[in-house]
Every structure is written in C-alpha cells, then in structure tokens.
Homo-oligomer: A and B are copies of this chain.
Amino acid sequence: MTGKIGSRTWAIAEGYIPASSTGPEPEMLSHETACLLNASPEDAEVEITIFFSDRAPVGPYRLTVAARRTKHLCFNDLQDPAPIPRGTDYACVIESSVPIVVQHTRLDSRQAANALLSTVAYAAS
C-alpha cells in the first residue's frame, strides 16, 4: 500500500450547522464534521477556507493531520480566525499538502430524533 490515497483539494458545498439541538450533549449536539483521512506516511498540513452567501470568505483555518491518522474535524469547534455562525449557509474548500480523503457529515437534532447526512466531498483533480 503506497498510502497516497485521495486528493489535495476538496470542496464541500453544503455547510449548515443547525442552531438548536435535542438530547444529551455533547453526543447529540447538532454539528457538522469534515472527516479527514491521511493514509500517507507524511503529515498533512491542511488549510480550510469558509465561503458564505453574502460576505467575503474567511480563513485559512489551519490544522495538521498526522501521518497514517484520521481527524474528524467538527466545524462547531473552529475558532481561529473566527467561529462558524450557526443557522447560516456556508461552504468550504479544503487544501492539503499531501493527498487525503474527505467525507462530510451532519447530525441534525433539532427535532426529537436525530437525522444524519453524509457524502464523500468533491475531489478536485
């Protein structure tokens, strides 16, 4: 296995953190994640840019995914340079120094039972 699996540029067009939640936190907090898999033998230096409908992009948000590790990044936790507003449409572009794989997931617990969505993100070639 070479471990060089994935792409260096990814996009998630559907970003939205629901503004309310039902059920015990932190497990049932409404949230969105970008799950990053770095199967390669080198650390991945990752930069995320957040896009909005009505204002300039914000970023980059920077993080490292260690070699041969996965990081399930919760957008709710991003703080620097600014938190992601709740109940607001956004999107993002994710750029990495080495190929990674990205999957996007939302848990929406606004109603009594949670709902889930997930998709592999869009890999730019």
Which listed residue, B9, B28, B53, B90, touches A111 by the CB 8 Å rule?
A: B28
Which of the four size classes fits the interface of chain A?
Answer: 35 or more
Min C-beta distance of A69 to chain B, whole Å = 6
B121 near A120 (CB under 8 angstroms)?
yes
Per the 8 Å Cβ criterion, residues 24-80 of A in contact with B are 27-28, 33, 35-37, 39, 49, 51-54, 56-57, 68-72
Contacts of A14 on B, CB cut-off 8 Å?
Answer: 33, 35, 72, 103, 105, 118
A115 near B115 (CB under 8 angstroms)?
yes
A13 near B37 (CB under 8 angstroms)?
yes
B89 near A72 (CB under 8 angstroms)?
yes
Contacts of A57 on B, CB cut-off 8 Å?
Answer: 68
A5 near B9 (CB under 8 angstroms)?
yes
Contacts of A124 on B, CB cut-off 8 Å?
Answer: 5-6
